[in-house]
Amino acid sequence: MSMTTRNPLQDDYVAFPKATRPQVPGQLELWTQATADGVYDLNPVERGWVAIQPWLLTKGYALRPRYVPGWKPRWIGTDIYPGAFEDSVSIYLPNIIDATQLSSGRTVAIKWVPHAENTRSELEIMRFLSSPELKDSDDPRNHCNPVLDTFTHPDNPNGIFIVTPWLAGFVFVPIDSVCEVVDMLSQLLEGLIFMHEHNVAHRDCTGMNIMQDVRTLFPGLRTHPQRPCYSENIQIRYDHIPRSRASVKYYFIDFGISARFEGPGPHLVTGTACRDRTAPELSATVPYDPFKLDVYLLGNHFLKAFLAKFENLEFLRPLLVEMTQKNPSDRPTAQQAYDKLKAIAREPFGLPFRWRIRPREAEGVEYLIEEVGSAIREISAQARTLLFGGSELSFGR
C-alpha cells in the first residue's frame, strides 16, 4: 500500500497560524487552483537565474530558495495561503535579482547589463562614481549606488553582471511627512550637485531610478528584499521608526543613458530616451544641456509624485515650477535649486513642517484616523526631544 507523505508544515501553527489558513468556504480551493494554474510558477526570466544559480554560488552570491534548481512550492499539501511563504515572492524586474553576498552576509542586487547602445557607458560611469577617490572621500553628496563587484556571464560574453547594494522602492516604505519630502528632495539635489561637479549627467533621474536604503528604519532587523517591511521569511510585518530618527539615504540608480564629459564645456547631448518624455528639450537631432535636463526631471518627479497627490506641500511649488521651466536656460542649476530649497524649508513653522502629507482626496473616518496618528507621532517626538534632546524636531531643515 502506497502512502502519501504528509507535509509537516501543515501542522506548524507556530510559523503558520490560523490567520494564514482558509477564513471562508472555498478559499482553499481558490489557492489550490491558483497554484495548479501556474500563478506561482517560475517565469522564463526567473528560470534564467535558476540556470546560473550554482555558478553564482561559486562567485560568492546565494539566491533565495525559489531560485535553487529543483525548487518546489513549500505550501503544496497544506491548507496554508501560498503568499505566506517566502518562496512565493518573485522578482519585479527582469534583469535584476536580489542575492546574499556570502562574504559579508549583506543583501545585494545583481544586475545583468547586456552590451547595447544605451548601456555602453553604464559600467564606466558607475565605476568612476564608485572610484576610491570619490566613494571614500566621505562626501555625503554622493548619492550614486556604488559598484561592489563585476563579472562576466559564463556562457554569454555579450554583457556583464554588476553587483550593487540592495535598495528599496517606495511602495512598502513610503514617504509619510512634509519634512521627509523636503529631506528627500534635499538629498537628491545634493546628488545632482555631486554628479554635475564631476561632469556626469544622469539624464534619467526620475521614477524608479530613485531608490532608498531603508536599513536604518528597522534597527537590529533583517527584512525581506522584495518586501522591505516584512521579516526575511515574510511572517512578521515590522513597523519602522520615524525617518527623523534614522539615517535613510536616497540614491540614483541606472546609469544606462548617463553621460560623462571631459573639460570645461559647454557639454551637450542628443537623444530622446528617458522615463519622463515630457522634458521639452529632448531631441534626437538638436543638442541640449543634460545638466539642466536633470534639474527638470527631478523637479517634475516631485510635482507628479507628491504635489499632484498631497495638499500641504504647496510651499515647494514655486521652486519645482522653476526647475521645470520650458526653456532650460530659465531653470536653476542643481546648486541654485538646493540653496533655494534650504531657504524655502525654513518657512513652514514647527508643526506643519513635521505633519503627515495629506492626500488631496482624503476625507471622512480615514482622514481623521491619519490625523490622530500624526498627532501621536508629534507628541512622541516632542517627548523624546524633551527627555533625550537631539535634532529630531528640526529634521529636514
Segment 109-121 shows an average pLDDT of 84
- Tens digits of per-residue pLDDT, 33-92? 999 999 999 999 999 999 999 999 999 999 999 999 999 999 999 999 999 999 999 998
Domain assignment of residue 96, yes or no: no
- Tens digits of per-residue pLDDT, 153-207? 888 889 999 999 999 999 999 999 999 999 999 999 999 999 999 999 999 999 9
CA atoms of 261 and 199, how far apart (whole Å): 5
Domain with 324, as residue range(s), is 167-354
Q: Are 75 and 217 in a shared domain?
A: no
Domain assignment of residue 230, yes or no: yes
HSE (CB half, 13 Å, CA atoms) of 315? 18
Q: 307, 300, 321: which is closest to 178 by C-alpha?
A: 307
Q: Are 199 and 339 in a shared domain?
A: yes
37: cell is: 494554474
In sequence order, the 6+-apart residues with CB closer than 8 A to the CB of 284 are 270, 271, 272
**Site of grid cell 510635482:** 303
- What's the pTM value of the predicted model, to 2 decimals? 0.93
Domain assignment of residue 300, yes or no: yes
Among 90, 111, 136, residue at a domain's last position: 90
Domain assignment of residue 146, yes or no: no
Domain assignment of residue 361, yes or no: no
pLDDT value of position 389: 86
CA atoms of 165 and 214, how far apart (whole Å): 12
Q: Are 204 and 339 in a shared domain?
A: yes
pLDDT of 268 higher than 70: yes
Q: Are 82 and 171 in a shared domain?
A: no
Q: Are 229 and 332 in a shared domain?
A: yes
Average pLDDT, the chain: 93
- How sure is the predictor about 264, in pLDDT bands with cuts at 50, 70 and 90? confident
Please name the amino acid found at residue 274.
Answer: C
CA atoms of 82 and 197, how far apart (whole Å): 50
In sequence order, the 6+-apart residues with CB closer than 8 A to the CB of 51 are 69
Among 44, 60, 90, residue at a domain's last position: 90
**Site of grid cell 510585518:** 237
Domain assignment of residue 268, yes or no: yes
Burial class (CB within 10 angstroms; exposed 0-12, middle 13-18, buried 19+) of 313: buried
pLDDT value of position 1: 41
- Tens digits of per-residue pLDDT, 312-328? 999 999 999 999 999 99
Which one is predicted more confidently, 348 or 60? 60
CA atoms of 111 and 97, how far apart (whole Å): 7
* Number of domains the chain is built from: 2
Q: Are 81 and 184 in a shared domain?
A: no
Q: Phi-psi region for residue 60, left (φ > 0), alpha (ψ -120 to 50) or beta? A: left
Q: Alpha helices, DSSP H only, in 63-145?
A: 122-129, 132-135
Q: Are 177 and 281 in a shared domain?
A: yes
In sequence order, the 6+-apart residues with CB closer than 8 A to the CB of 169 are 208, 211, 212
Q: Are 79 and 190 in a shared domain?
A: no
pLDDT value of position 348: 66
